[in-house]
Amino acid sequence: MTKTPDFAAAFDEHLRDEFELHDAAATMTTMSDNPHLYHLPTMAGGNGRDEIFRFYRDHFVTKWPKDTSTTHISRTIGEDQLVDELVMHFTHDTPIDALLPGIAPTGKPVALPVVVVVKFQNGKVAHEHIYWDQACLLVQIGLLDRSDLPVTGAEQAQNLLDGRYATNELLERL
């Protein structure tokens, strides 16, 4: 009987290499022969090992604020994929190329809901598709005025963390 790869352990190693060790080369050891990485809101990432390594080295694993932490909301594991729902917490005190390309640090605290869809091939990460609400992030760092827009800020994350969920606050404007 063939043993099913432990996708959770494989992805946890990948995350450790990125966010604890800040080691692009170690992160690449967790990836398949021809991976791709796509941060949807900013269209950042890479196709193939060389592009992804350069992205990780120059724009991702070494570009996080020191106080970055995550709170896992849920993890779903399928036949060849894993989906993590989490909230990232950090202070925007350093440039964060992958999320905010070209934006100078604002010093503002951020709580950002993120969804990561990970496909595996032979027990290694074959792709990551990473989603977040860019308007939510821009509101929190002070670059988007939400007063006339149907967007929210850190309360998205707070609702996930405290279980309030749908508050219909934006509907109250009607």
Mean pLDDT, residues 116-130 = 97
Q: How confident is the model at residue 90 (pLDDT cuts 50, 70, 90)?
A: very high
> Which residues, in sequence order, are bridge partners of residue 110?
90
Query: What's the predicted TM-score (pTM) here?
Result: 0.92
pLDDT 10s digits, 48-80: 999 999 999 999 998 999 999 999 999 999 999
Cα of 92 vs its chain's centroid, Å: 15
Specify the amino acid at residue 82: L
Residue 136's pLDDT is: 98
Residue boundaries of the structural domains of the chain? 7-162
Residue 170's pLDDT is: 87
pLDDT at residue 163 greater than cutoff 90: no
Q: How confident is the model at residue 4 (pLDDT cuts 50, 70, 90)?
A: low
Residue 169's pLDDT is: 84
Fold of 7-162: Nuclear Transport Factor 2; Chain: A, (3.10.450)
Rounded Cα distance between 25 and 54, Å, is: 10
CB atoms within 10 A of CB 145: 10
Residue 167's pLDDT is: 84
